[in-house]
Amino acid sequence: MKLFTSVLLLTLVFLMFSCNQDSTIDIWMIGDSTMAAKSSNRHPESGWGVGLADYVTPRARIHNHAANGRSTLSFINEGRWQAVLDSLSKGDYVIIQFGHNDQKPDKKRHTEPFGTFQENIKRFIDESRDKGAYPIVCSSIVRRHFDEEGRLKDTHGDYIIAARDIAGKNNVPYIDMESLTRQLVSELGPENSKAIYTFTETRSDSTHLSVYGAKIVAGLFVKEVKKAGLPLAEYFVDQK
């Protein structure tokens, strides 16, 4: 009887471990064009949310809801956030990256960095947590805008500071994609950094990533998640 009980207990432990290893999580991505998937006619333009798929293990599913031209305001007003929110489950992750279009002057998109921008980010945070999901706030990736001395310009201003600030005040993991991409693009320099962005014979785009750049930038996010020791790290493969 004791032997049977021991075997039964070991079997239960094994089954519990196996179920835990086989469980999958959903990663929801909300943001703008620098994160979004693109139609084939925009090739080789891509977003780092697409590149992230190269780093996830089979235990994670990515749902990239980022969209071209969206700010926190328009993402909410167009019902895009509600669609994500309705799909969230306990244990999911929500990766948030806005700022590029929040600084645009038109009423449909513009937000103030330490006003409506932070209010909208906080809404994403609070409503994600209400569903049992884990939000992660990111700053915008850097634009490839060099000055005459070959130094990258600051084109996002207070939106970077505001993203970090609201993440800190709400005890949310913050991944500084602006700093990470600034270092990458600065090291590559004005000419070599073109490979990261969408440069073709007919197009010179210093905002939107190329397919190659999307994978590289996604890799920076993964490395930072692992460096920070976030639980999400276990769902990413180790980079060579």
- Single pTM value for the model: 0.90
Q: Given this model, what pLDDT does residue 10 score?
A: 41
pLDDT tens, position by position, 29-68: 999 999 999 999 889 999 999 999 999 999 999 999 999 9
Q: Given this model, what pLDDT does residue 9 score?
A: 42
Q: Given this model, what pLDDT does residue 12 score?
A: 39
Binned at pLDDT 50, 70 and 90, residue 19 comes out as: very low
Segments making up each domain of the chain, as ranges: 25-235
**DSSP letter for each residue of the chain:** -HHHHHHHHHHHHHHHHHHHHH--EEEEEEE-TTTS---GGGTTEE-HHHHGGGTB-TTEEEEE---TT--HHHHHHTTHHHHHHHH--TT-EEEEE--TTTTSSSTTT---IIIIIHHHHHHHHHHHHHTT-EEEEEPPPPP--B-TTS-B---STHHHHHHHHHHHHTT--EE-HHHHHHHHHHHHHHHHGGGTEEE-SS-EEEEEEEHHHHHHHHHHHHHHHHHTT-GGGGGBPPP-
pLDDT tens, position by position, 85-108: 999 999 999 999 999 999 999 999
Q: Specify whether domain 25-235 bears CATH 3.40.50.1110.
A: yes
pLDDT tens, position by position, 172-203: 999 999 999 999 999 999 999 999 999 998 99
pLDDT at 18 over 60: no
